[in-house]
Amino acid sequence: MKHEFTSINGTGLLRKCDPKGCGNFGASRGNHTHRGIDFHVIPNQQIKAPFPCTVNRYGYPYSDDSSYKLIEIVGTGAYSNYRAKIMYINTFLSIGDKIDKGDLLCTADDITQKYGSEMTPHVHFELYVNNELVNPTNYFKNLV
């Protein structure tokens, strides 16, 4: 069964295509494909929880660059089959903290500092259902 998520950037605005790539699920990334969707952000803006969740862990999207972080959340209640990774963020919650859908989860970092101003500033959202990677697009309403 499919649940409805809240847009994590408040607007539902997605990264389109820019000279560095496209923001849709499955977009080309050289030798692999894009594993999530990219939400257009203003660096430092608030990022909201897409569903009620627990903060599961923090990590680093780049093994050779610890300046960027990811947050992994696991759904609670009716959302317990869902797990998501959100990348290029700044954090303040603790592991194990529980928050509701739409609550403040983290803030956006500035990924364009790594790739240049041709890239649309964004946070990356990746969704797993029962530990299997899925296209998250249709779980959100009002994406633009």
Q: How far is the CB of 38 from Zn ion (least distance, A)?
A: 4
Comparing CB distances to Zn ion, the nearer of 39 and 79 is: 39
Residues forming contacts to Zn ion in the complex (CB under 5 A) are 38, 124
Q: Which of 135, 127, 129, 36 is nearest to 80 (CA)?
A: 129
109: nearest Cα among 99, 119, 96: 119
* Residue whose CB is less far from Zn ion, 40 or 124: 124
CB closer to Zn ion, 23 vs 52: 23
Which residue in the block uniquely carries the two structure tokens 């779980």? 139
Q: CA 112: distance to chain centroid?
A: 16
Cα separation, 67 vs 69, in Å, equals 7
Give least dist CB 100 to Zn ion, A.
Answer: 25
- Rounded to the nearest whole angstrom, what is the least distance from the CB of residue 78 to Zn ion in the complex? 27
